[in-house]
Amino acid sequence: MLRRIITAVAIVVGTAQPLLADNAVNPQADFKAFRKYFTERFPKVPLNDFVNGPYSMDAGLRKQWIAIDAFPPYEFAVDKGKQMFAKPFKNGKTLADCFANKGIGIRQDYPKFDAKSGQVITLEVAVNECLEANGEKPLNYNKDDMAAVTAYMAFTSRGKPFDIKIPNDPRALTAYKKGEEYFYTRRGQLNFSCASCHVQNPGNHIRTEVLAPALGITAALPIYRSAWGGMGTTTRRLRSCNSQVRGLPLAGGDELYRDVEYYLSYMANGLPISGPGARP
Amino acid sequence: MRNRHLILIAVALSVIAFAGVAFAASADDFKVALAKAEAADKQAYAFKNQWTTTEDDLKKAKAAAAAGKFDDAVKLAQQAEALANASIVQAKEQEKLWTEAVIR
Amino acid sequence: MNEFPGAIPGAPDCARRMILKTAVAGGLAGLGLAASAMISPVYANADAKEWPQSAFKEKNQAAVLKDLYGKSEAVASDKINLDAPEIAENGAVVPIAIASTLPKVTGIAILVLENPNILAAAYKIPDGTEAAVSSRLKMAKTGKVVAIVESGGKLYSATQEVKVTVGGCGG
Amino acid sequence: MPTIRVRAVVSGNTTEVQSLIQHPMDSGFVKDSKGQLIPPHHIEVVQFEHGGKTVFTALWGPAVSKDPYVKFSFKGGKKGDDLKVSWVDNKGATDSLTAKIQ
């Protein structure tokens, strides 16, 4: 029954919007094909290991990661995030008050589609909306405090499977489809899409990096990147992908960034949260 | 003798002035080139597909103009325009082409 | 985020600690007295005077060893296990572990031969502490990492090449 | 917030100590966004003490990674014992922490 409704909605959306005309929105079918592609291409990688990105692809890297993860450099961010979470705003409320279960163990539910605004709410957007609703300044989307808060939230959610829902709402399906489009669209002077690296070439080297598989790629975020010498958020990860192909990055909280995270996280449904992560 | 000298100087000056008009770009030339480049860049922005190289050239063009190097400034602005136009072509092409890359 | 909250010179917390440090150091000047007067063990703080400044400025192995250990020759030994990656994931963070089965080890040093100053770290190993240490180092480019072990007053070494594709001179 | 993180776990007669310290460890070879060299800023000495005795001393140069990590083991620690860690950097800043062996 549910599937029939989704299909019906998809058809309506498909006819209403020229963008979607020859591409009926079918997240479940996409999900199956996506999962099949990665598990068939990397039969030796256990499904839950995809969330470990390049370490699931390269034994040498993995050994260094295990050495580093014995006492990982993101611990300071997790602690800072924990403090920030408990610290009262000027109005006496806290970040914890904005979230279900006081924000503990809920990272796997993000991004969420918000029926009120008709938009996708990523964890980072939710944090800033919480701050603004309480008369506090929003955080920089890239790193520092935003990375600390989300690192703490991810840390308390480790091991919980991604549970992204695409409700029966044409706006949600459109956001999902736009996210998919963003993921596969070539951009920048180098003419690369996200998929060029993370679907067509995971495990291969581009310049100096071992490319991570797209499957589960949002599960480890935020990450401490040695190349950055510090923490970075999902926004920072997307922005750096853009600039690496000589595309101008979008602003944090941009609709397209929300949508692509929605798409990728839906593709990762069932895979465990592994963030915060450590990456080369 | 003296007259001839004066004439020579006058000729020399006119050659320089002529060269200025014919071969060197002016501030106005730059304004035109910049306006074109910025219009194209604005369109690329509407596609959310600006290239960093376009932005770099625009910055460099403005810097060259500020330093009075209008030849360079015009060249850079034209290059920026070309890059912006290429990014627009890319964005338009990709509106359909992206679906070919999707895992099915 | 304040990248480095705890160590801003002059910040109130640090200032307090620095005063405490001076007090403890003062107590130690009167050595035995201070120690016997206290019931709990006396703890000294890390002392910057211990830092071998000249060794950390040297450009070649012999000079580093001379500064650190008073002798410049080290003999290659298979009783040193130097565990470094063949290819560093990033030159800014290269995990390197050294362990030795040599007797009476008193010191371990790590040299990165292609770095601007080749001595990366030196460790003092008192009696009762194992001759094994792991740390994370920066490497500017591909090159040799040398582990030096001081054992029974003699120096031994082990060497491994590490490929660095992204230099970590900065970190 | 403390700059020192330490984990000391006893197993048999051996205590394994791992420590992570928050510090920029600026090498002095890197330029900031304005093209100015960032001056060296690094920890010089880290000391680990147990029972009034120094059990390990690290002497670090600027080639030790940012937020440095070190692991070593010593004999004689018992569960519940104090282990004190302290560091000093080239600008004279210091921090210290006393942890319990687990």
For residue B6, the model assigns a pLDDT of 43
Task: Answer yes or no: A241 catalytic.
Answer: yes
Put simply, the answer to whether D92 touches C9 (Cβ < 8 Å) is yes
229-248 of A, contacting D, C-beta below 8 A: 229-230
For residue C47, the model assigns a pLDDT of 85
- The answer on pLDDT for B30 being more than 90 is yes
Task: Specify the pairing of strand D69-75 against strand D14-21.
Answer: antiparallel
- The answer on pLDDT for A1 being more than 60 is no
- Measured in residues, chain A has a length of 280
- The answer on pLDDT for A206 being more than 50 is yes
Put simply, the answer to whether D1 touches A71 (Cβ < 8 Å) is no
Q: Share the mean pLDDT of chain B.
A: 83
Q: Which residue of D has its CA nearest to A82?
A: D1
- pLDDT tier, C42 (very low <50, low <70, confident <90, very high otherwise): low
C50 min Cα distance to partner chain D (Å): 7
D102 min Cα distance to partner chain C (Å): 18
CA atoms of A56 and A277, how far apart (whole Å): 13
143-172 of A, contacting D, C-beta below 8 A: none
Q: Which of A136-150, A217-231, B21-35, C136-150 has the lowest mean pLDDT?
A: B21-35
* D55 vs C11, residue with greater confidence: D55
In percent, the amount of chain B with pLDDT more than 70 equals 78
Task: Check: CB of residue A265 under 8 Å from CB of residue A179.
Answer: no
Mean pLDDT in residue range A5-26: 48
- The answer on pLDDT for C118 being more than 80 is yes
Q: Is A37 touching B (CB cutoff 8 A)?
A: yes
Question: Most confidently modeled of A201-215, A260-274, C41-55?
Answer: A260-274
Q: Is D49 touching C (CB cutoff 8 A)?
A: yes
For residue C9, the model assigns a pLDDT of 29
Q: Do chains D and B touch (3 or more CB pairs under 8 A)?
A: no
CA atoms of A114 and A241, how far apart (whole Å): 27
For residue B2, the model assigns a pLDDT of 46
- The answer on pLDDT for A85 being more than 80 is yes
pLDDT, tens only, A146-189: 999 999 999 999 999 999 999 999 999 999 999 999 999 999 99
Q: Is C124 touching D (CB cutoff 8 A)?
A: yes
Q: Is the preceding peptide bond at A222 cis, omega within 30 degrees of 0?
A: yes
- The answer on pLDDT for A205 being more than 90 is no
Structure tokens at A158: 């480790």
Put simply, the answer to whether C133 touches D88 (Cβ < 8 Å) is no
Which class for A159: exposed (0-12), middle (13-18), buried (19 or more C-beta within 10 A)? Answer: exposed
Q: Which of D57, D93, D94 sits opposite C50 (nearest CB)?
A: D57
DSSP D36: P
Closest CA relative to residue C151, chosen from C79, C99, C103: C103
Closest CA relative to residue C142, chosen from C120, C124, C160, C127: C160
Q: CB count, 10 Å around CB of A210?
A: 22
This model of the complex carries an ipTM of 0.73
- The answer on pLDDT for C25 being more than 90 is no
- pLDDT tier, A18 (very low <50, low <70, confident <90, very high otherwise): very low
- SS3 for B74? helix
For residue B23, the model assigns a pLDDT of 55
Q: Which of A81-90, A181-190, C15-24, D39-48 has the lowest mean pLDDT?
A: C15-24
Structure tokens at A214: 């797209």
Q: Is A18 touching B (CB cutoff 8 A)?
A: no
DSSP assignment of A45-99: S-GGGGGGGGGGT-HHHHHHHHHHHTS-TTHHHHHHHHHHHHS--TTS--GGGGS
Mean pLDDT in residue range B65-83: 94
pLDDT, tens only, A241-266: 999 899 999 999 999 999 999 999 99
* Dihedral, B30, B31, B36, B42 alpha carbons, nearest 10: 120
- pLDDT tier, D28 (very low <50, low <70, confident <90, very high otherwise): confident
In percent, the amount of chain A with pLDDT more than 90 equals 77
Closest CA relative to residue B48, chosen from B94, B101, B91: B91
CA atoms of C98 and C148, how far apart (whole Å): 9
Closest CA relative to residue C88, chosen from C28, C165, C31, C33: C165
CA atoms of A41 and B97, how far apart (whole Å): 24
- pLDDT tier, A207 (very low <50, low <70, confident <90, very high otherwise): low
- Which of D4, D16, D20, D73 is most worth mutating to test chain A (most A CB atoms within 10 A of its CB)? D20
Structure tokens at A264: 């990728």
Structure tokens at D57: 């001393």
For residue D30, the model assigns a pLDDT of 83
- The answer on pLDDT for A19 being more than 80 is no
* Residues in contact with C61: Cβ distance below 8 Å, sequence separation at least 6, in sequence order: C72, C74, C111, C113, C118, C146
* B10 vs D84, residue with greater confidence: D84
Q: What is the pTM of this model?
A: 0.78
Q: Which residue of D has its CA nearest to C115?
A: D63
CA atoms of C53 and C67, how far apart (whole Å): 9
For residue A63, the model assigns a pLDDT of 87
* A24 vs B48, residue with greater confidence: B48
D34 min Cα distance to partner chain C (Å): 15
- The answer on pLDDT for B25 being more than 70 is yes
- pLDDT tier, B7 (very low <50, low <70, confident <90, very high otherwise): very low
Q: Which residue of D has its CA nearest to C121?
A: D60
CA atoms of C83 and A62, how far apart (whole Å): 14
D41 min Cα distance to partner chain C (Å): 11
Terminal-to-terminal C-alpha distance of chain A: 46
Report the run of H or E that residue C108 belongs to, with start and end.
Answer: strand C105-112
Q: Share the mean pLDDT of chain A.
A: 90
Mean pLDDT in residue range A22-40: 89
Task: Specify the pairing of strand D14-21 against strand C94-100.
Answer: unpaired
Mean pLDDT in residue range C92-113: 95
Q: Is C168 touching D (CB cutoff 8 A)?
A: yes
Mean pLDDT in residue range A79-91: 95
Task: Check: CB of residue A266 under 8 Å from CB of residue A142.
Answer: no
Q: Is the preceding peptide bond at A280 cis, omega within 30 degrees of 0?
A: no
Put simply, the answer to whether C134 touches A67 (Cβ < 8 Å) is yes
Q: Which of A199, A248, A254 sits opposite B51 (nearest CB)?
A: A248
Q: Is B71 touching A (CB cutoff 8 A)?
A: no
- SS3 for A173? helix
pLDDT, tens only, A213-239: 999 999 999 999 988 889 999 999 999
Put simply, the answer to whether A64 touches C86 (Cβ < 8 Å) is no
Q: Is A71 touching D (CB cutoff 8 A)?
A: yes
CA atoms of B77 and C161, how far apart (whole Å): 48
- pLDDT tier, C79 (very low <50, low <70, confident <90, very high otherwise): very high
Q: Which residue of C has its CA nearest to D28?
A: C170
- pLDDT tier, D1 (very low <50, low <70, confident <90, very high otherwise): low
- The answer on pLDDT for D59 being more than 70 is yes
Put simply, the answer to whether D5 touches A70 (Cβ < 8 Å) is no
For residue C43, the model assigns a pLDDT of 65
- The answer on pLDDT for C35 being more than 70 is no
Q: Which residue of D has its CA nearest to A80?
A: D1
Put simply, the answer to whether A187 touches B91 (Cβ < 8 Å) is yes
For residue A21, the model assigns a pLDDT of 42
For residue A60, the model assigns a pLDDT of 85
DSSP helix, strand, coil percent of chain C (3-state; round to 5): 25, 35, 40
48-87 of C, contacting A, C-beta below 8 A: 85-87
DSSP B51: B
Residues of chain C in contact with residue A141, where contact means CB-CB under 8 angstroms, are: none
- Which of B90, B103, B104 is most worth mutating to test chain A (most A CB atoms within 10 A of its CB)? B103
- pLDDT tier, A23 (very low <50, low <70, confident <90, very high otherwise): low
Q: Is D72 touching A (CB cutoff 8 A)?
A: no
Q: Which of D52, D55, D96 sits opposite C17 (nearest CB)?
A: D96
Q: Is A195 touching B (CB cutoff 8 A)?
A: yes
DSSP C94: E
- The answer on pLDDT for C2 being more than 50 is no
Q: Is the preceding peptide bond at A27 cis, omega within 30 degrees of 0?
A: no
Q: Which of A64, A80, A147 sits opposite C89 (nearest CB)?
A: A64
